[in-house]
Amino acid sequence: MLSRFSQIPSFSLLLKAATLAALSYTSLSHAEFDLQLGFSSEYVRQGIKASSSRPVAHTGITYSHQTGLYTGTWATQVNHKDDDTQFEIDYYGGWYLPITTSFATDLSYTRYTFHGDKTTNDQAYGEGSLSMLFWDSLTLGYRYANNFKDSNEDLQTLELAHTYNGEEFGFEFSMRQYRYMKVNEDVNFGSKNHDDYFHFRFGVGRSYGSNDMSLSLERTNLGKEFDGNTQILFDYNYHFNF
């Protein structure tokens, strides 16, 4: 059983690699669309609250081909404390390539956009990523975002994630480090010398046919001013495949 974890910005490498790995070992001989409709008890982006502790609806669609090429878009409601942003819409594409029966790579690019407030419309940014998937369960990932959220500074992300899919439940353990390549008094994670933080996640998921549900615990080492303290999240998705 493949347990599909959502929330593209936080878990895109794990979600795409695991999903496409499962497709590559089936008898799929044609292109496939996966349409996702769902909701979350809260939207947490890179370990930081992005919906002011309120539930959000989200949707997405992914087109994947037997060659390993894929593209898609994902959207969610947003509710920031300091601005009027209402939606985040992300566009992504990439290539999943199995090398051996136990090793695969995933090369992708994602464009993140924000809507509803003129001050955050300009925070759109692009991020390239490369991940390596071992035994369809262990993921090592690297991401690089140029001019992260209009900060004029670049952000690097290192990722280590492991999933275990049993007959009924799936489990995810992951750790990420986010680091600015340069910091100053205006761009940092708490002080002009604080250039990085860590984001930890443990999740358990269950699938019933086209229904996916997951419960996760997330934690960062950021200060309270970043709303990155411990979060407990529930997520539900319904999938249409055609």
Structure confidence by residue, pLDDT tens digits, 54-71? 999 999 999 988 888 999
Q: Residue 157 contacts by C-beta under 8 Å, 6 or more apart in sequence? A: 141, 142, 143, 144, 145, 176, 177, 178, 179
pTM recorded for the entire structure: 0.89
Domain-wise residue ranges, the chain: 8-241
Supply the pLDDT for residue 129.
92
Fold annotation for 8-241: Porin (2.40.160)
Cβ–Cβ under 8 Å, residues 94 and 106: yes
DSSP 47: T
Determine the average pLDDT of the residues in 188-200. 93
Q: What integer pLDDT is reported at residue 158 of this predicted model?
A: 96
Torsion angle (degrees, nearest 10) of CA 19, 24, 29, 31: 30
Q: What are the pLDDT digits (tens) for 19-78?
A: 444 444 444 445 689 898 999 999 999 999 999 999 999 999 999 888 889 999 999 999
pLDDT on residue 5? 38
The string of DSSP codes covering 159-205 is EEEEEEE-SSEEEEEEEEEEEESS--SSSSSSSTT--EEEEEEEEEE
Assign 154 a pLDDT band (cuts: 50, 70, 90): very high
Residue 163's pLDDT is 86
The band of 223, judged by pLDDT with boundaries at 50, 70 and 90, is confident
pLDDT in tens, 84-117: 899 999 999 999 899 999 999 999 999 999 999 8
The pLDDT, as a whole number, for residue 18 is 44
**DSSP 8-state code for residue 139:** E
Residue 134 banded pLDDT, cuts 50, 70, 90: very high
What is the DSSP-derived secondary structure letter of residue 104?
A: E
Q: Which amino acid is at 220?
A: T
